[in-house]
Amino acid sequence: MHTDRTDRTDRTNRRLAAALAVIASCALAGSLALVRPAGAADTSLKQLSEAKGKYFGTALVQSNLSNSALVGVATSQFDMMTPGNEMKWDTTEPSNGSFNFGPGDTLVAFAQAHSMKVRGHNLVWHSQLPGWVSSLPSSQVQAAMETHITTEATHYKGEVYSWDVVNEPFNEDGTLRQDAFYNAMGTNYIADAIRTAHAADPNAKLYLNDYNIEGENAKSNAMYSLAQSLLAQGVPLGGIGLESHFILGQVPSTMQANMQRFAALGLDVAVTELDDRIQLPASSANLQQQASDYSAVIGDCLAVTRCVGVSQWGVGDADSWIPGTFSGYGAATMYDQNYQPKPAFNASIAALGGSSGSTSPSSSTPSTPPTTSSSSPGGGGSAACKVSDVVSAWNTGLTENITIANTGSAAVNGWKLTFTLASGQTVSNSWNATISPSSGQVTATNMSYNAAIAPGSSASFGFQATHTGNASAPSSFSLNGQVCTNG
Ligand code: 9MR
């Protein structure tokens, strides 16, 4: 009894400490949530997914939490979080019987603070497995595995939506990997692991997760047979995770049918670690292909009722694992090195049924009197701002990223950038600024976190818009009433 209470108190204290550790990032994201850009509320990945009864997730590691640009995107777009490394055995039980849930607790507290659910990842895996497990005599592996699963799944009981109980169990030819668990227990280690996790947290969905099982092939056939066999034995398997680490242009055409056959067994399926790597440097044709790839994956998931959601592995190209593992490859996510959305983001929004604009009621396109940029204060002819813009367009839409450089000698504290959109363009979504109205001459207003632009510094923001054939960049930029140079 006393021990139970002490454990609970310790756990509460740890959670409080973890929650305090994320307060800074909460404050940032809180301000983002309150000052939501016009149109963003109904065009985020998560809101569109939720409207379809699904989620859209990302993977985070602890160090990501201090990156404000990353956190801004993570909290505004995603409603599911998978810890990238912090729940793996090498972190949680680095030596036999010595548990460390601090890093995982920090991420869980962050997720809870931002209304994200958590995919627990993972309990049993041949990789990131501390040496002491592989060195155990075979006769002791089962007890070590069960203790590990019970302790970790109990610690996170009620706090994870699902667990990847066994990760990557198969070789490419569909045979089981001969890792410490298989060598000690044979095929039965998988059933034992799932049963042990279920006893600890009966409400978590229990997954087997693997890569290269997205299409129909020897490996996914083996996963299918295993799933059938586990279900026939009454093992509480709940879902199959398709990691989906794709190479550009290689999303299998059989992905939907493959997901459907698992669903037909009564299992959930999830795209758990989506990315789509490109040989660098990525051309704009490559980025368009990546957009189609993302669209195809999301379309496949939407077509399968039991596909519960899609998670990308990481938030943006800057935090992706790809360049570090596949030399010469990168650009694998929906966001670029500066956390600006790429064509794959727009394609994902579209695949989820996001309007590429035109949702604003007519009352929100008022005849705002044009801001006459009458000769401005203190001007004397030399502009104190320089605007550069990059447009990325496809047949009916575009994204535009704009950078405002303060070329003057005075600090800017709070800014409004007016500019004129090409005719036929309508803003549907914006980031790092609010934009109003949605067409014609518009004004972009700073967010609380990028209001100040020191002399020599710059601020960036962007938007997504629909167009009717004219994808030209905007023109006539004025910052706080003062005309800017452009280029
Ligand atoms: O993203 C993880 C990376 O930081 C680690 O270095 C790597 C070590 O294996 O694991 C990465 O995540 C993997 C995930 O846990 C399982 N599927 C493959 C992922 C990419 O390697």
CA of 293 to the centre of ligand 1 (A): 21
Find the 84 Cα to ligand 1 centroid distance in Å: 7
Q: Residue 63: CB within 6 Å of ligand 1?
A: no
Which residue, judged by its Cα, is nearest atom 11 of ligand 1?
Answer: 84
Is the shortest distance between the CB of 84 and ligand 1 below 6 Å?
Answer: yes
Residue (of 245, 225, 274, 236) closest to 82 by Cα position: 274
Within 8 A by CB and 6+ apart from 34, the residues are: none
Mean pLDDT, residues 57-69 taken together:
98
Q: Looking at residue 455, what is its pLDDT?
A: 86
What are the residue numbers of the active site? Answer: 168, 273
For strand 268-279 and strand 245-247, is the pairing parallel, antiparallel, or unpaired? parallel
Mean pLDDT check: name the lowest of 144-153, 158-167, 281-290, 399-408.
Answer: 399-408
**For ligand 1, is residue 120 a contact (CB within 6 Å)?**
no
Ligand 1 atom closest to Cα of residue 321: 1
Q: What mean pLDDT do residues 119-135 have? A: 98
Segment 33-40 mean pLDDT = 35
CA 180–ligand 1 middle distance (angstroms): 19
Which pLDDT score, from 0 to 100, does residue 195 have?
98
Ligand 1 neighbour 83 (Cβ under 6 A): no
Ligand 1 centre from 322 Cα, in Å?
10
**Protein residue whose Cα sits closest to atom 20 of ligand 1:** 321
Cα 133 from Cα 116, distance rounded (Å) = 32
Band (pLDDT 50/70/90 cuts) for residue 20 is: low
Q: For ligand 1, say whether the CB of 346 is within 6 Å of any of its atoms.
A: no
Please tell me the residue having the least CA distance from ligand 1 atom 12: 84
Full 3-state SS string of the chain: CHHHHHHHHHHHHHHHHHHHHCHHHHHHHHHHHHCCCCCHHHCCHHHHHHHCCCEEEEEECHHHHHCHHHHHHHHHHCCEEEECCCCCHHHHCCECCECCCHHHHHHHHHHHHCCCEEEEEEEEECCCCCHHHHCCCHHHHHHHHHHHHHHHHHHCCCCCCEEEEEECCECCCCCECCCHHHHHHCCHHHHHHHHHHHHHCCCCEEEEEECCCCCCCHHHHHHHHHHHHHHHCCCCCCEEEECCEEECCCCCCCHHHHHHHHHCCCCEEEEEEEEEEEECCCCHHHHHHHHHHHHHHHHHHHHCCCEEEEEECCCCHHHCCHHHHCCCEECCCCECCCCCECHHHHHHHHHCCCCCCCCCCHHHCCCCCCCCCCCCCCCCCCCCEEEEEEEEECCCEEEEEEEEEECCCCCEECCEEEEECCCCCEEEEEECEEEECCCCEEEEEECHHHCEECCCCEEEEEEEEECCCCCCCCEEEEECCEECEEC
Q: State whether the beta carbon of 128 lies less than 6 angstroms from ligand 1.
A: yes
CA atoms in the 13 A half-sphere facing the CB of 376: 16
C-alpha of residue 274 to centroid of ligand 1, in Å:
12
> What is the overall mean pLDDT for the chain?
87
- Residue with the bigger pLDDT between 337 and 25: it is 337
> Per-residue pLDDT averaged across 262-273, rounded?
98
User: What per-residue confidence (pLDDT) applies to 430?
Assistant: 73
State which ligand 1 atom lies nearest to the alpha carbon of 324: 6
Determine if ligand 1 sits within 6 Å of the CB of residue 85.
Answer: yes
127 lines ligand 1 (CB under 6 A): yes
The closest-lying atom of ligand 1 relative to the alpha carbon of residue 243 is 17
Q: Which atom of ligand 1 is nearest to the CA of 127?
A: 9
Q: What band does 456 get if pLDDT is binned at 50, 70 and 90?
A: confident
State the pTM of this model: 0.72
Output the pLDDT for position 358: 28
Q: Is the CB of 314 under 6 A from ligand 1?
A: no
The full set of domains in the chain, from first to last, is 4-363 (3.20.20.80), 385-486 (2.60.40.290)
Per-residue model confidence (pLDDT) at position 411: 87
User: Rounded to the nearest 5 degrees, what angle is found at the Cα of 131, between the Cα atoms of 130 and 136?
Assistant: 115
